[in-house]
Amino acid sequence: MKLLVTGGAGFIGSVVTRMLLDAGHQVTVLDDLRTGHRAALAPDATHVDLPVHEAAQVLTPDAGYDAVLHFAALIAAGESMVHPERYWHANTVSSIALVDAVRAARVPRLVFSSTAAVYGNPVEVPIPETAVKAPTNTYGATKLAVDLVLTSEATAHDLAAVSLRYFNVAGAYLRDGVAIGERHDPETHLIPIALDVAAGRREKLQLFGDDYPTVDGTCVRDYIHVEDLARAHLLALTAAVPGRHRIYNLGNGNGFTNRQVVDVVREVTGHPVPVETAPRREGDPAELVASSALARQELGWVPEKPTLTDMVGDAWAFYRSHVLEQS
């Protein structure tokens, strides 16, 4: 297929781009590098340095794209509470412009990076796709809005749309001498921050809240390896059906508290990780654990690296080779 990947200089988009290229697809990456890394761009993909809302410049009616995979977004839930306008523009307004371009160019398929954050504080755990959607942060709200846009676009204009609601993405892609891992700036994700502490580049790790109703008081999250996530995108591309918006949660169905994650980081790295308790972050739900039964049934998706040890091990291998050695 001829594919446009938005956000292909970011963590997940750059891994999926490589797996799409490995599978024989032709890929153009649209990314203005606002938070991505030039070094993460796949050499075999064409890079277009444009913001998402200008995607129509690439998605011309005669360009012949078979699908768009839409990863580009701002992703920091905390920041989204302080600067919500940035998130509505970057995530929702830009996505509406992208969908307009997809329609005008008659691109038949679109796969969208949605998030567990659309559910807010879940009433049922593990969370099915049918659960109540009540985001507790602006980031989740901006993503839910795009999901709603895609439902009406699929119904009215025959788009084959798929939203993949990722839970916490971790690990790294390590293959044929290529290593891609998480490098957000500022980093807000627990595992890369804990690795920074293990490596001695940060003094201590802040745990935001230890009075949640969980086994040790810290938040519970479900982690998914970035390679398993990427595989789901390849399956979603072929499973997309015109006129339907399919939505799948992607996680492992296992929750780990923040303290348990830190313990795995200590085990894998062999280094101490001092922690300090900080106040809760606004908008953080206590527990987010996925039911991915639907993705397993309908996409035939089976995670190959479900353990936290695998994910932290790969993230640490990336960290040592690309963050420590190049700093």
Ligand X SMILES: NC(=O)c1ccc[n+]([C@@H]2O[C@H](COP(=O)([O-])OP(=O)(O)OC[C@H]3O[C@@H](n4cnc5c(N)ncnc54)[C@H](O)[C@@H]3O)[C@@H](O)[C@H]2O)c1
Nearer to ligand X, 28 or 115 (CB): 115
| Binding positions for ligand X, 134-173, rule CB under 6 A | 166, 168-169
Residue 13 binds ligand X (CB under 6 A): yes
Segment contacting ligand X (CB under 6 A): 27-35, 79-87, 190-198, 210-218? 27-35
Distances from the Cα of 152 to the Cα of 29, 98, 139, angstroms: 26, 15, 21
Min CB(320)–ligand X separation in Å: 20
Distances from the Cα of 26 to the Cα of 62, 64, 65, 99, 106, angstroms: 16, 11, 10, 21, 18
Residue 31 binds ligand X (CB under 6 A): yes
- The C-alpha atoms of residue 321 and residue 65 are separated, in whole angstroms, by 36
Segment contacting ligand X (CB under 6 A): 8-16, 126-134, 231-239, 265-273? 8-16
Neighbours of 104 (CB within 10 A): 12
> Residue 166: which of 21, 11, 9 has the closest Cα?
11
Min CB(205)–ligand X separation in Å: 17
Which H or E run includes 276? Answer: strand 275-278
Min CB(83)–ligand X separation in Å: 14
Active site residue 212: no
Min CB(270)–ligand X separation in Å: 25
| Binding positions for ligand X, 172-231, rule CB under 6 A | 184
Residue 260 burial (CB < 10 Å; 0-12/13-18/19+)?
A: middle
Neighbours of 148 (CB within 10 A): 13
| Cα 299 to the center of its chain, rounded Å | 18
Which H or E run includes 98? Answer: helix 94-104
Nearer to ligand X, 10 or 285 (CB): 10
Min CB(7)–ligand X separation in Å: 3
Nearer to ligand X, 35 or 218 (CB): 35
Nearer to ligand X, 86 or 271 (CB): 86
Min CB(218)–ligand X separation in Å: 18
Out of 4, 36, 69, 77, the residue judged to bind ligand X by CB under 6 A: 36
Helix axes 258-269, 190-198, angle to 10 degrees: 40
| Binding positions for ligand X, 77-116, rule CB under 6 A | 90, 94, 113, 115
Exactly one of 119, 139, 166, 223 is catalytic; name it.
Answer: 139
- The C-alpha atoms of residue 11 and residue 61 are separated, in whole angstroms, by 29
Distances from the Cα of 71 to the Cα of 90, 127, 176, 210, angstroms: 11, 22, 24, 32
Catalytic residue IDs: 139
Where along the sequence are the contacts to ligand X (CB under 6 A)? Answer: 7, 9-13, 31-36, 51-52, 71-73, 75, 90, 94, 113, 115, 166, 168-169, 184
